[in-house]
Amino acid sequence: MFDRVAETYDSVGVPWFTPIARQLVDELAPAAGESALDIGCGRGAALWPLADAVGGEGRVTGIDLSTEMVRATGADLAATGLGHVTLKVMDASDPDLEPASFDVIASSLVLFFLPDPAAALRSWWQLLAPGGRLGISTFGPRDQLWTDIDKLFVPYLPQQLLDARTSGTAGPFSSDAGMAALLGAAGFDTTRTVGISQPVSFSDVGEWHAWARSHGERAMWDAVGDNAEGIRSRAAELLAAGRGPDGRTVLTQQVRLSLAVRPKQ
């Protein structure tokens, strides 16, 4: 699915993944000269701020399982001429990279896709140098309007798309304490949790529809088949009813940033 959305991913003119990843990287505060890894880099939402922060004296590696994401981001990278950034097609579950070779690892909106997040975190711990920092973003609740739009899909979705991990409604991904426990079990000290409220704004249903098909929710559109047109019509009514005085509709998503360190000893 991520291969299919790679070309349009985060590039339909609606800022979404980029501001979330930028805040994650800000919290990690990478320093000039550090070595950073972006796990599940997609189209580079965290990769580019990491590259800026560590500068030419530093080093950034981005990995993603989707060959199309890596190809499209590689084309962007070639256009930048940055020599300190490397991309690889690689599974985040157990990346085949040099142990203890990174000062900073960022992974924005990826961990909940992995079959065994706890095992993945243990392998990420190995990649960090002692004292190295890990920053993860995961989804929290959505506002009422967005929740109501999501409900339009539910009757047509297979069980695997109703995964509570992705939506953060149950299990470790549903609370600060759950994430801290998941990280702690993998050997990390959790230093902080930062809650952010990320708005996304639309002028009309067409803009929303293009955006909603340009990222992970594409899986929902692909699953609903012939019901897609009815869902779009009903969503248009909900979006119109939620319009603000400026004529735009804003949907808001809570996002949890979990910041952790590999202990020095």
Ligand X SMILES: C[S@@+](CC[C@H](N)C(=O)[O-])C[C@H]1O[C@@H](n2cnc3c(N)ncnc32)[C@H](O)[C@@H]1O
Contact residues: ligand X, CB under 6 A: 2, 10, 17, 21, 40-42, 45-46, 64-66, 69, 91-93, 108-110, 113-114, 216
Q: How far is the CB of 183 from ligand X (least distance, A)?
A: 18
- Residue nearest ligand X, Cβ-based: 42
Q: How far is the CB of 85 from ligand X (least distance, A)?
A: 15
Q: Kindly report the backbone phi and psi dihedral angles of residue 182, in degrees, each rounded to the nearest multiple of 5, phi listed first.
A: -60, -45
Q: Kindly report the backbone phi and psi dihedral angles of residue 181, in degrees, each rounded to the nearest multiple of 5, phi listed first.
A: -65, -40
CA dist 231 and 19 (Å) reads 28
Q: Which two tokens stand for residue 148?
A: 């109501």
Strands 249-261 and 128-142, bridge-based pairing? antiparallel
CB closer to ligand X out of 58 and 62: 62
CB closer to ligand X out of 4 and 243: 4
CB closer to ligand X out of 45 and 205: 45
Burial category of 61 from C-beta neighbours within 10 Å (exposed 0-12, middle 13-18, buried 19 and up) = buried
Q: How far is the CB of 50 from ligand X (least distance, A)?
A: 11
Burial category of 87 from C-beta neighbours within 10 Å (exposed 0-12, middle 13-18, buried 19 and up) = buried
CB closer to ligand X out of 40 and 172: 40
CA dist 143 and 154 (Å) reads 17
Q: How far is the CB of 253 from ligand X (least distance, A)?
A: 12
Closest CA to 102 of 123, 116, 83: 123
Q: Which H or E element spans position 184?
A: helix 176-185
Q: How far is the CB of 138 from ligand X (least distance, A)?
A: 10
Q: How far is the CB of 62 from ligand X (least distance, A)?
A: 9
CB closer to ligand X out of 90 and 180: 90
Residue 152 CB neighbour total at 10 angstroms: 18
CB closer to ligand X out of 164 and 240: 164
